[in-house]
Amino acid sequence: MSELILYAVADGIATITFNRPQVMNALDPESIVAFRAVCERAEKDTQARVVVLRGSGPAFLAGGDVASFKSNLASFSRDVVGMAGELHRGILALRRAPKPVIASVHGAVAGAGMSIMMASDLIIAAEGTQFNMAYSRIATSPDGGASWFLPRLIGYQKAMELLLLAEAVDAGTMLAMGVINRVVAAVELEGITLKLAQRLAAGPTTAYAETKVLVNSSINQELAKHLDAEAQAFSRCSAHADFAEGVTAFVDKRKAVFKHNRD
């Protein structure tokens, strides 16, 4: 496994760590391939019931490694299609993964770091984190799904503001716009992230997986078909042992203890 992107699983929690702290975890071609590989691993890992994305050192992920772009200018316009393809395969794996994905961000989140963050299901940010779409600062358009996620999260006008102006935005503003879920003290980020991950890891895995599929598919599906998909998903959930445990615990006024398996 590459040391550029670390992968570990403990107690049902898979942790993906961007590990190039000397460059604020900026992605070069090798680390992009490693990112794709660990995302696909997390997607299929039956031991992982929740995935946490984090960055080592002073930042979550400061986008692409612009220095590597400069050193390969002659061939970059040809090479970037393949690099973007690897990045996009990783992002799609996170979206397909039948488990919640949490982005735990701090320091700086820019460019592709924003895209990866927005591909997550829940986002916790440390106070003081700075967010920047950044792409226009180097005269390029977005990748990683940024131009897909942003309008759906905050609407056309605000999305265009962030994308075109590439100005730094603080965590409080991102929370108010609805891009992130929570802002916490920097010293509490790791502990609060772990607590949330543990809560999800102990939850009804099948229900989470079905919910994620429904929400992701709702964007491009007409209402009648989506209502049918909801009914079918509810039926599949209700055939699972966790449903029996959930309703029994509710009636008995006790905390449910779920089995987590997807059989």
- Look up the CATH number of the domain holding residue 32: 3.90.226.10
160: amino acid identity, one letter: M
Calculate the dihedral angle through the C-alpha atoms of 49, 260, 47, 63, rounding to the nearest 10 degrees.
Answer: -10
Same-domain check for residues 159 and 239: no
Per-residue pLDDT band at 12 (split at 50, 70, 90): very high
Shared domain check, 215 and 107? no
**pLDDT beyond 70 at 209:** yes
3-state helix, strand, coil in the chain (%, to 5): 55, 15, 30
For residue 1, pLDDT beyond 60 = no
pLDDT at 68: 85
- 159 pLDDT higher than 90: yes
pLDDT digit string, tens, across residues 68-121: 888 888 888 888 899 999 999 999 999 999 999 999 999 999 999 999 999 999
Residue pair 72/21 in contact (Cβ under 8 Å)? The answer is: no
Residue with tokens 């509490």: 188
The structure's pTM equals 0.94
- Classify residue 51: in a domain, yes or no: yes
Statement to judge: residues 97 and 179 lie in one domain: yes
CATH of residue 247: 1.10.12
Domain with 160, as residue range(s), is: 5-201
Query: What distance lies between CA 124 and its chain's CA centroid?
Result: 11
More confident of the two residues 77 and 236: 236
172 and 213 co-located in one domain: no
Q: Are 97 and 218 within one domain? A: no
Output the pLDDT for position 263: 47
135 and 98 in a single domain? The answer is yes
Beta carbons within 10 angstroms of residue 75's beta carbon? 8
